[in-house]
Amino acid sequence: MSDSKKSGSTKTFSRRHALKLGLAAGAVVSAPAIIGSARAKSKNLVIVNSGGKMGEAKRKALYEPFTKKTGIEITTVAGPELAKLKLQVENKAVEWDVVDMGHATLPTAIRLGLLEPIDEKIVDWEGIVKQARSPFAIGGTIYAGGIGYHRTRKKPVTTWPEFFDVKNFPGRRGLRTRVNDTLEIAAMGSGVAPSEVFPIDVERAFKALDKIKPHVSHWISSTAQTVSLIQQNETDYTFTYTTRVKGMQDAGVPLDFSFKQNICGISWTGVPRGSKNRDAAMRFLDFALTPDRQAELSNYSVDAPSHKDAMAMVDPAVRKWLPDPSNKNNCFTDAEWWSTNLEPLTIRYKEWLLT
C-alpha cells in the first residue's frame, strides 16, 4: 500500500484511488473515466445496515465522508434480512447496493449466490487482516466476546480454562442459551488451543459442559443480562461483550473484561448480486477499508478495525477496549462451519439444557 493511503484524513490519493473515487481531473483521468465519474456522482447508493448505534457510527465515519469525497448520496435502510436479499436477487429486482451481514450470515449468502464478487481492481486488500477478507465481502470491524466479572467480589477469571476450573476459581457461572459461542468456549475451556478449535470436537465440548453445568447459575438468553446479572450479584462470571462491560463502567459499575482470550467475529459488508450501482458500491467498500475511516468507525462503535494500520489511529481511550486480532490466544469463530452445523447442534443443545 502506498504511503498516501496510510497517512489518514490528510492523505493525497494515488492515481489508482483517484480513478476509484472519481476525484482526479485533467490529464490524470482519461475521458472514459471522467464519464464514469460523472455517472457515479449522479447515483444514490442504498445501504442496508443494522441500525442503532452501529448505524449511527457508520453514518458519521463512513457514509457522510464518502458523500463528501465523491458526491454520491447514500440512503440507509435498517434490517439486512437474508430472506429479503434472496427475494430481490432471485426476482432481479435488487433495491439495495450495499448490505451489512453478521458473521454467521455470510456463508449462506455466498452459497446462495446473493453477492457480487469483490472487484479487486477497485477494492484494495493490502493491510487488511486475513480473517476479514472474503471473495464476496469485506470485513470492516471485529467484535469480541469474553469473560466479564465484578472487579471486587471474586478473583478475576481471565481465560476459558480458568472459567472451567471451578476448584481454583470458585463462583457462579453464566453461559448463553445458544450453542454457537458456547461450544467454542467449552472447547477452549477443555484445553483446546484457540487455533485448533475448528472444526469443533463436539463430543469433547459437551463433556466439558457436563462438568461445569452444576456451577452455572444462569443460562442467559438476553445479551443485556450478561452484565446485569453480575451487577445484581446473581452470578460472578459470564460470557459477554466489550461494549456491554464498557457501558457498565461508563455508568460507574465496577465490572471488568478480560482481553487475554476472546472469541472474535467479523462484521461483513457486501454488494448484492445485480446491484444497479455495482462500481460505486465497490468504491464505497474500498473507502470503508482505508485506515483513517476504520479508525474513526472504531472510535464510534468500539469494535476493532480490520486494517493493521488503523489501530494506532484509534483514540487511546477507545483502543483499550478493542481486541487484538493478532493475539494467538483469541479464537475467530468459523462461520462456514457453523452454517452447516448450527441447526442440528442447536437442537442437541436445547435438549441438553433440559436434562
CA 294 centroid distance within chain: 12
CB 127 within 8 A of CB 308: yes
Task: Answer yes or no: do 200 and 60 share one domain.
Answer: no
Task: Answer yes or no: do 246 and 207 share one domain.
Answer: yes
* Farthest CA pair distance, the chain: 73
pTM of the model: 0.79
pLDDT score of 354 more than 80? yes
Residue-level pLDDT at 311: 94
Across the strands, what pairs with 257?
148
Q: Which has the higher per-residue pLDDT, 131 or 20? A: 131
CB 196 within 8 A of CB 184: no
**What mean pLDDT do residues 211-238 have?**
96
Amino acid at 131: Q
Task: Answer yes or no: do 199 and 295 share one domain.
Answer: no
User: In terms of residue numbers, what domain contains 173?
Assistant: 143-264+327-354
Task: Answer yes or no: do 238 and 176 share one domain.
Answer: yes
Residue-level pLDDT at 26: 33
Task: Answer yes or no: do 192 and 247 share one domain.
Answer: yes
Mean pLDDT over each residue of the chain, to the nearest integer: 88
**What mean pLDDT do residues 283-304 have?**
97
- Using pLDDT thresholds of 50, 70 and 90, give the confidence band for residue 21: very low
The domain total for the chain is: 2
Name the region of 313 (left: φ>0; alpha: ψ -120 to 50; beta: rest): alpha
Task: Answer yes or no: do 344 and 239 share one domain.
Answer: yes
Residue-level pLDDT at 22: 43
Residue-level pLDDT at 325: 83
H helix intervals, the chain? 3-6, 15-21, 31-41, 52-58, 64-70, 82-90, 106-111, 160-163, 182-189, 202-212, 225-231, 242-250, 278-288, 291-301, 316-319, 335-354
Task: Answer yes or no: do 161 and 251 share one domain.
Answer: yes
Residue-level pLDDT at 182: 97
Task: Answer yes or no: do 61 and 170 share one domain.
Answer: no
Name residues whose C-beta falls within 8 Å of residue 93's C-beta, 6 or more positions apart in sequence: none
pLDDT score of 25 more than 80? no
**What mean pLDDT do residues 280-302 have?**
97
Task: Answer yes or no: do 125 and 11 share one domain.
Answer: yes
pLDDT tens by residue, 82-94: 999 999 999 999 9
Name residues whose C-beta falls within 8 Å of residue 152's C-beta, 6 or more positions apart in sequence: 254
Amino acid at 132: A
**What mean pLDDT do residues 174-192 have?**
97
Residue-level pLDDT at 289: 98
CA torsion sign for 197, 348, 163, 180 is: positive
pLDDT tens by residue, 27-56: 333 333 333 343 344 479 999 998 888 999
Q: Which has the higher per-residue pLDDT, 154 or 350? A: 350
pLDDT tens by residue, 104-144: 889 999 999 999 999 999 999 999 999 999 999 999 999 99
Residue 220 belongs to a domain with what CATH number?
Answer: 3.40.190.10
Residue-level pLDDT at 5: 38
Task: Answer yes or no: do 118 and 237 share one domain.
Answer: no
**What mean pLDDT do residues 239-258 have?**
94
Task: Answer yes or no: do 107 and 12 share one domain.
Answer: yes
- Using pLDDT thresholds of 50, 70 and 90, give the confidence band for residue 20: very low
Residue-level pLDDT at 27: 32
pLDDT score of 23 more than 80? no
pLDDT score of 15 more than 60? no
CB 177 within 8 A of CB 353: yes
Task: Answer yes or no: do 257 and 270 share one domain.
Answer: no
Residue-level pLDDT at 1: 44
Q: Whole-angstrom Cα distance, residue 348 to residue 199?
A: 17
For residue 232, how many other CB atoms are within 10 A of its CB? Answer: 9
**What mean pLDDT do residues 318-345 have?**
91
